[in-house]
Amino acid sequence: MSKAKTKTSKEAPRILIIYTGGTIGMVQDHETGVLSPIDFSQIRREVPEIKKFGYAIEVVSFNPVLDSSDMQPIHWVKMAELIRDNYDKFDGFVILHGSDTLAYTSSALSFMLENLAKPVILTGSQLPVGEIRTDARENLITSIEIAATKINGKPAVPEVCVYFDYYLFRGNRTTKMNSAKFEAFQSVNFPPLAEAGVHLKFNPHLVAKPTGKKLKIHIKLDNRVGVIRIFPGMSRDWFESQLNAPNTKAIIIETFGSGNAPSQGWFIELLQKAIDSGILVVNITQCPGGTVEQGRYATSSKLAKMGVVAGADLTIEAALTKLLFLLGNHKKISDIKRLMVESIRGEMTL
Active-site residue, selected from the candidate residues 8, 20, 23, 255: 23
CA distance 311 to 289: 13
CA distance 116 to 122: 15
* HSE value, Cβ hemisphere, 13 Å, CA-based, for 93: 30
CA distance 25 to 242: 37
pLDDT confidence tier of residue 32, bands split at 50, 70 and 90: confident
The DSSP symbol for 210 reads: P
**In this structure, how many other beta carbons lie within 10 angstroms of the beta carbon of residue 195?**
15
CA distance 220 to 138: 35
pLDDT at 24: 83
Q: Render pLDDT for 42-81 as a digit per residue (tens, 0 to 9).
A: 667 778 888 888 999 999 989 888 889 999 999 999 999 9
Q: Hey, what domains does the chain have and what are their CATH numbers?
A: 2-217 (3.40.50.1170), 225-340 (3.40.50.40)
Q: 185: buried, middle or exposed (CB in 10 Å: 19+, 13-18, 0-12)?
A: buried
pLDDT confidence tier of residue 205, bands split at 50, 70 and 90: very high
The DSSP symbol for 214 reads: P
pLDDT at 106: 98
Q: Render pLDDT for 84-95 as a digit per residue (tens, 0 to 9).
A: 999 999 999 999
User: How far is C-alpha 345 from the geometric centre of its chain's CA atoms?
Assistant: 12
Residue 209: pLDDT over 90: yes
Q: How many residues does the chain have?
A: 350
In 131-193, the DSSP E strands lie at: 150-151, 154-155, 160-164, 167-170, 175-176, 185-186
Q: Does the reported pTM lie above 0.85?
A: yes
The DSSP symbol for 256 reads: B
CB 112, CB 329: distance < 8 Å:
no
DSSP β-bridge partners for residue 176? 185
118 Cβ contact list (under 8 Å, min separation 6): 87, 90, 91, 92, 93, 155, 158
Higher-confidence position of 271 and 131: 271
| Largest Cα–Cα separation, the chain | 70
Determine phi and psi for 176, rounding to 5 degrees: -75, 125
299 included as an active-site residue: no
pLDDT at 298: 80
Which residue from 168, 171, 124, 173 is spatially nearest to 146, judged by alpha carbons?
A: 168
Q: Render pLDDT for 168-203 as a digit per residue (tens, 0 to 9).
A: 999 999 999 999 899 999 999 999 999 999 999 999
